[in-house]
Amino acid sequence: MALLLLQLAVLGAALAAAALVLISVVAFITATKMPALHRHEEEKVFLNAKGQKETLPSIWDLPTKQLSVVVPSYNEEKRLPVMMDEALSYLEKRQKRDPAFTYEVIVVDDGSKDKTSKVAFKYCQKYGSDKVRVITLVKNRGKGGAIRMGIFSSRGEKILMADADGATKFPDVEKLEKGLNDLQPWPNQMAIACGSRAHLEKESIAQRKCSFGGLISQPVFIGSILYGRH
Percentage of the chain surpassing pLDDT 70? 66
Which residues have CB under 8 Å from 218's CB, separation 6+? 161, 162, 163, 167, 168, 195, 197
Instruction: Give me the CATH code for the 41-227 domain, please.
Output: 3.90.550
**If you ran DSSP here, which 8-state letter would residue 108 be given?**
E
When comparing pLDDT for 188 and 33, which is higher? Answer: 188
Rounded CA-CA distance 8/133 in Å is 61
* Least confident piece of the model among 27-41, 63-77, 192-206: 192-206
**Could you tell me which residue, 6 or 87, shows the higher pLDDT?**
87
**pLDDT computed for residue 208 by the predictor:** 40
Which is higher by pLDDT, 84 or 1?
A: 84
pLDDT score, position 9: 61
pLDDT at 173: 86
Taking the C-alpha atoms of residue 25 and residue 19, their distance in angstroms, rounded to an integer, is 10
Burial class (CB in 10 A: 0-12, 13-18, 19+), 153: buried
Q: For the residues 1-29, what does the mean pLDDT come to?
A: 60
Nearest to 173 by CA among 75, 54, 87: 87
- Res 210: pLDDT: 33
What percentage of the chain carries pLDDT values higher than 90? 50
How many CA atoms lie less than 13 Å away from 37 in the CB half-sphere? 20
Q: What is the mean pLDDT of residues 120-149?
A: 96
> Considering the chain, what is the average pLDDT of its residues?
79
Q: Which letter does DSSP use for residue 192 in this model?
A: E
Asked whether the bond before 185 is cis by omega within 30 degrees of 0, the reply is no
Q: What is the pLDDT of residues 159-200, one digit of tens each?
A: 999 999 887 788 888 888 887 777 766 666 677 777 766 655
**Predicted pLDDT at 225:** 34
Q: How far apart are CA 227 and CA 230, in angstroms?
A: 9
In this predicted model, what pLDDT tens digit does every residue of 70-94 receive, in sequence order?
999 999 999 999 999 999 999 999 9
